[in-house]
Structure 1
Amino acid sequence: MAGSSRLRVGAVPSRFQWIRVHVPAPRLSALERSNSRLGVDDRPPESEVVEDLSVCTMDHDYAARPLSCALENALQYIEEPEDRLQAMSVGSSNIFGRFCVSDETIRYYTRFPSQQVFEIFWESIAPSAKHLIFWTKAQRMGEEASATPSPARKIQLIDELFIYCLCVAAGLKEQVIADICGVSIATVSRIIITWANYLFFVLGSVPIWMSRQQVNDSMPQKCREYSPKVRVILDCTEVRCERAISLTLHSETFSNYKNTTTTFKGLLGVAPCGAVTFISSLFTGSTSDKEITRKSGILELLELDDEVMADKGFVTEEMLAAKGARPFKKGKQTRAVARLRILVERVIHRVKQNHIWDSTVPLSLAGSINQIWHNCCFMVNYQGPMFLESE
C-alpha cells in the first residue's frame, strides 16, 4: 500500500527504559510564542499560585480531622434506627406512600377525610402497634406471646394498617391485595385478622358514650327547641355473610326483613350532634330489634329523664321504666325532628361506605367480623360532623 510503512523482517526493539532517548519539548501555543518574542510574562505571581493551591486543597476533606463529637453522633444515629423510622413521615413508606398521594386517595383507600387526620390517628396508635404480635403466633403461644418481643417485620407497620384498610375500606379481595403488595395471601390474611383484633381492643377502650352534659353542650339549636331531652337515637342495620354449611347456623342467620339466610344485625346509637356513642356486637339475623336492644347493654347506660328516639319495635316504656327513661314522642312533627330521626341513617350510610359491606363477607373472616364492624362504626367519628342545621 502506498504511503504506508511496514516493519522490516528481523527487526527488534531498540528503545528501552534504560536507554536515554531525546524527547522533543512540547510545542508552545501561538500566544505563548508571541509573548516569548515580545518579552511579556503573563504567569501569575508565586503568592497567588500558592493561595490558589491552598484553596484547591480545601475543596476536599479526605485528610481533615473529624469533630470531637462526630463519633458519638454517629453511634447514636446507628443505635436508634426504629426511632428514626418512627419520626419519618408516613408518606415515606413503600406501599402507603405509593397509593395515598392526596386527600382524595386517602379518603378512598382508608375512609379518613384527609392525610392530616390519618397522621393524627396513626401517631395515637403507633407506640402500641410496635409491640404487635401476629394472631397465629398468639394462638400457638397463648399468654407467653405477650412476654416475647415482637419479631422484625418485612412490611412496615404503616403498610400493615394500609393493607387492613385496603380490605375493609376499599373492599379489595385478599388475592388482589397480595398481588399489589407483593406478599402471599396467607400474609395478607394474618395482617387483616391481627389488625382487626388490635384496633378492636384499642378503639374499644376509648369511652364514646357521652354524658348528659356533653350531649346538651353539643346539641344543635333546633334540637334544643323540640327535643331537648333526647340522649341517643337508635337504629339497626344488617350485613351479609356467606351462606353457612351448618344447618344450625344457617337457621340462626335467617332474616325476616331481608328474607335471606346470610345476615348479621348490629345496633348503633348516635347523639343528636351526629357522633357515634354506642356500638353493639353483631347478632344473628333471626334476632329481633327489641331483643338486640335488650341484650346490647344500651339500657344500662341511660339515666333519669333520658329520652330515646327509635323506630317502633326497638324500645317500649316498660323496657325504659327501670332507668326512669322513656321513648321519645314526636308530638308535633317538625323538620328539625325529622332531620334528627334520619341522622342515624346517615351515620349508618357512612359505615356502609366501607366497601367490605358491598358484597357478602367471607366465612374466613367470621371470627373477626364483629371486630371489623365495631372498627368501621368507630371510624365514623373521624369523618367529621354531619352539619344537619346547614342543610
Structure 2
Amino acid sequence: MAEATSRCHCSVPHCSNNKQRQPYLSFHAFPSFEYDRKKWVHAIRRDQSMTFTILRGSTFVCSRHFTDADYTSATGRKRLKKGAVPSRFLWNNWGQTARQSVYERVRARHGLCACPILSSDDAQEDDGDMVPEVTAGASDHDYAVAPPPGAQDAAAARINELEAEVRRLETEVMQLRIEHSLSQFQRFCASDEDIRFYTRFPSEEVFQAFWKAIEPSASMLVFWSKAQKKGQTARIEASESHHRSLPLIDEFILYCCRVAAGLKEKMLADIFKVSLSTVSRIIITWANYLYLILGSLPIWMSRQEVNSTMPEKFRQFCPEVRVIIDCTEIRCQNPSALTLQSEVFSSYKNTTTFKGLIGIAPCGAVTFVSSLFTGSISDQELTKKSGILDLLEQGDACMADKGFTITSMLAERGAKLIIPPFKMAAQFSREDAERTQAIARLRILVERAIRRVKEYHIWDTAVPLTMSGTVNQLWTNCCLMSNFQWPLDVKGHKSASAS
C-alpha cells in the first residue's frame, strides 16, 4: 500500500507532508475495500465530494498518522497491517508540545524557581531536607497561588511611577507643540513685510483679527478626505477628523504660503516636516473652508452704502454708478483632449485659460466675483451667466470698457451702461474726449483690484488640470481676501504701498 513516487502528498487536513520534502516517510493509498475506506475517510474527518475525491495512485495518508502497532515486519519489510486505521492527528493533540502549568508560569513571571512536586518518599531521600507534602488538590488548582509578600505594594508603586511619567511626557509634548506653533508663526510673520509676502495681509494686526474671527469655526474643521468618505449628507463630528500633524494656525499659514507666496507643495512639505499628501489635504480643506466662510459674507453693497463711500470724482462724473466690472483670465494647463482644448482656448490671450468676472464698488472694494468659465466664452455671455444682472436695481449704472456690449441686457433690469464713447467721426469731440478720460481714470480701479488678486503668486504659473476641482474656490478666496488689504484709491497711492 506504500508509494515511492515523489509526487505523493498527504490528504489529512492541516498536514503538508509530501514525498519530495519528507522522503523518509511512507505514503499509503486508501484501501480498495469499501468498508475499510469509509473508516479512513471518517478518521481523517473528510467527506468525499467535488473538493475531495479518492483516486487510486494520487490520494494518500502519510505514515505519521499511524502508530507503531499498525505496522508489521513479519516478511522482513515494514508493512501496514490489514485493517489499520490512521489515528494520530492534530485535533487529538498528537504532535503538540506539553504546555507549562499555570503554577509554573506564575512562578516564572515572579522570578521564582518552579520546584517539582515531590512525594513524601522522595522528600525523605533528598539529603534529609524536609519538604511539605502537597495534596493532589493543590496540584490541580495551582492558578490560585498567592503572590509573594510585598508584590502588590511593589506593583502599585510601579503603576504610580508610570502614571507620573505619562503625565510628565504629556506636558512635554504639549509644550513642544506650543513652541513649534510659535516658532512657525514667528518664522513666517516676524515683521509686517514678511506677513505681506507670505499671507498678503497688510499687517500683523489685520492677520490676527482675521484669525480670531475664523478660529472658532476652524477648530471644528474636518479634513476634506474624511468628508468625502462620510458623504455630503453625513454629519461628521470634529473628533472623527483625521489626526492633525500641525497646529491649526500652522495649517492656515501653510495654505497662505501656497496661495499668497506661491511656494510649491514639495517645499512646504519639507518646511513643515509633513508628508506631501498632508500638504495637499490641508490646502484642499482650507480652500473649501474659506470659500464657505468668505462666500457667506454679504459683500454686495446696497445703494445707500455705495453712495456713502463714493469718492468725490465719481460724484462729479457718474454718481449713479453701482458697480465697475471687468473680465480677467488665468492660464491653465493645456488638456490633451481636442474638444477641451477648443473650449479653454482664449483667442484674446492666444493660450488656454479660465475666465472670470470681477465687480467692485466705487470705493474699491470687491463686491462681486463670478465662477470661472472656459477661456472661449465671450464677455457678454459671461456677464449673463455670472448672475450680476440679478443684483442690479432700477436706476443703477454699470461701468465697463468698450468690449461689454450689454446695453440691452441692462435695460431689461432698468439699469444703464457707462462705457467710453465710440469714435463716430474722424476724431473725438471735446466732450467725448473729456468723458473718455474721466471714465478711464475711474475704471482703472477695477484693473488695480484685478492686479491685487493676481499678485497671489499661485497664479504665476499655469493652473494644472489636477486643481480644476478647487480652482474656483482658490480664485474666489483670493478675490475676497484682497478686501483685507489697504483700500484702493483713485490716484493709486495706497494700492502701491500695499503691493
How does 1:351-366 map onto structure 2 within 5 Å?
Answer: 351-366=453-468
2:330 is the counterpart of 1:228: no
For 2:435, what is the secondary structure of its paired residue? coil
Displacement of 1:144 in angstroms is: 2.7
For 2:261, what is the secondary structure of its paired residue? coil
Looking at structure 2, the residues matched to 334 and 291 of structure 1 have their Cα atoms a distance apart, in angstroms, of 25
Partners of 2:357 and 2:370 within 8 A in 1: yes
2:358 is the counterpart of 1:268: yes
Q: In the alignment, which of 198, 212, 236 is matched to residue 146 of structure 1? A: 236
Looking at structure 2, the residues matched to 91 and 322 of structure 1 have their Cα atoms a distance apart, in angstroms, of 58
TM-score, normalised relative to structure 1: 0.74
Q: Deviations over 1:323-378 (max 9, x none)?
A: 10010155542755332111100000000100011111122211100000000000
Displacement of 1:259 in angstroms is: 1.2
Partners of 1:93 and 1:156 within 8 A in 2: no
Q: Deviations over 1:170-220 (max 9, x none)?
A: 011111111111111111000001100100011000010000111110000
2:224 is the counterpart of 1:122: no
Q: Deviations over 1:230-268 (max 9, x none)?
A: 1111101101111112332222111010111x2000100
Partners of 2:369 and 2:479 within 8 A in 1: yes
2:499 is the counterpart of 1:386: no
For 1:232, what is the secondary structure of its paired residue? strand
How does 1:315-354 map onto structure 2 within 5 Å?
Answer: 315-330=405-420, 331=432, 332-333=434-435, 336-354=438-456
Between 90-99 and 150-159, the greater mean CA deviation after superposition: 90-99
Which residue of structure 1 lines up, in the alignment, with residue 341 of structure 2? 250
Looking at structure 1, the residues matched to 310 and 397 of structure 2 have their Cα atoms a distance apart, in angstroms, of 14
Letter in 2 for 1:247: L
Which residue of structure 1 lines up, in the alignment, with residue 6 of structure 2? none
The change in CA–CA distance for 1:362 and 1:94 in structure 2 (over 3 A counts) is farther
Q: Deviations over 1:88-114 (max 9, x none)?
A: 9x9953422222100000000000000
Letter in 1 for 2:372: L
When Rg is computed on C-alpha atoms for both structures, the one with the higher figure is: 2
Looking at structure 2, the residues matched to 135 and 285 of structure 1 have their Cα atoms a distance apart, in angstroms, of 28
Which residue of structure 2 lines up, in the alignment, with residue 175 of structure 1? 266
Which residue of structure 2 lines up, in the alignment, with residue 10 of structure 1? none
Looking at structure 2, the residues matched to 320 and 107 of structure 1 have their Cα atoms a distance apart, in angstroms, of 39
Partners of 1:93 and 1:159 within 8 A in 2: no
% identical aligned pairs:
59
Partners of 1:254 and 1:284 within 8 A in 2: yes
The change in CA–CA distance for 1:175 and 1:272 in structure 2 (over 3 A counts) is same
How does 1:39-188 map onto structure 2 within 5 Å?
Answer: 93-142=182-231, 143-147=233-237, 149=239, 150-188=241-279
Partners of 2:220 and 2:238 within 8 A in 1: no
TM-score, normalised relative to structure 2: 0.59
Displacement of 1:155 in angstroms is: 0.3
Partners of 1:91 and 1:97 within 8 A in 2: no
Q: Deviations over 1:29-55 (max 9, x none)?
A: xxxxxxxxxxxxxxxxxxxxxxxxxxx
Displacement of 1:314 in angstroms is: 2.1
Which residue of structure 2 lines up, in the alignment, with residue 212 of structure 1? 303
Displacement of 1:136 in angstroms is: 0.8
Looking at structure 2, the residues matched to 193 and 301 of structure 1 have their Cα atoms a distance apart, in angstroms, of 30
Letter in 2 for 1:317: T
For 2:244, what is the secondary structure of its paired residue? coil
Looking at structure 2, the residues matched to 298 and 193 of structure 1 have their Cα atoms a distance apart, in angstroms, of 27
Looking at structure 1, the residues matched to 413 and 180 of structure 2 have their Cα atoms a distance apart, in angstroms, of 50
Letter in 2 for 1:275: A
Structure with higher RCO (Cα < 8 A, 6+ apart) = 1
Moved over 3 A (4+): 329-332, 334-337
Looking at structure 1, the residues matched to 238 and 491 of structure 2 have their Cα atoms a distance apart, in angstroms, of 52
Between 244-253 and 270-279, the greater mean CA deviation after superposition: 244-253
Looking at structure 2, the residues matched to 210 and 100 of structure 1 have their Cα atoms a distance apart, in angstroms, of 33
How does 1:363-374 map onto structure 2 within 5 Å?
Answer: 363-374=465-476
For structure 1, which runs of at least 5 residues remain unmatched after alignment?
1-77
Partners of 2:445 and 2:489 within 8 A in 1: no
Q: Deviations over 1:260-299 (max 9, x none)?
A: 1x20001000111100000000000011111000000000
Which residue of structure 2 lines up, in the alignment, with residue 314 of structure 1? 404
Letter in 1 for 2:201: F
The change in CA–CA distance for 1:351 and 1:148 in structure 2 (over 3 A counts) is closer
Looking at structure 2, the residues matched to 159 and 139 of structure 1 have their Cα atoms a distance apart, in angstroms, of 23
Looking at structure 2, the residues matched to 126 and 321 of structure 1 have their Cα atoms a distance apart, in angstroms, of 44
Between 332-341 and 99-108, the greater mean CA deviation after superposition: 332-341
For 2:234, what is the secondary structure of its paired residue? helix
Letter in 2 for 1:270: I
Partners of 2:326 and 2:400 within 8 A in 1: yes
Letter in 1 for 2:358: L
Looking at structure 2, the residues matched to 141 and 204 of structure 1 have their Cα atoms a distance apart, in angstroms, of 24
Q: In the alignment, which of 373, 394, 417 is matched to residue 283 of structure 1? A: 373
Q: Deviations over 1:307-333 (max 9, x none)?
A: 111112324221011210010155542
Letter in 2 for 1:116: E
Looking at structure 2, the residues matched to 191 and 119 of structure 1 have their Cα atoms a distance apart, in angstroms, of 20
Looking at structure 1, the residues matched to 441 and 488 of structure 2 have their Cα atoms a distance apart, in angstroms, of 11
For 1:338, what is the secondary structure of its paired residue? helix
For 2:376, what is the secondary structure of its paired residue? coil
Letter in 2 for 1:311: D
Looking at structure 2, the residues matched to 251 and 390 of structure 1 have their Cα atoms a distance apart, in angstroms, of 38
The change in CA–CA distance for 1:113 and 1:253 in structure 2 (over 3 A counts) is same
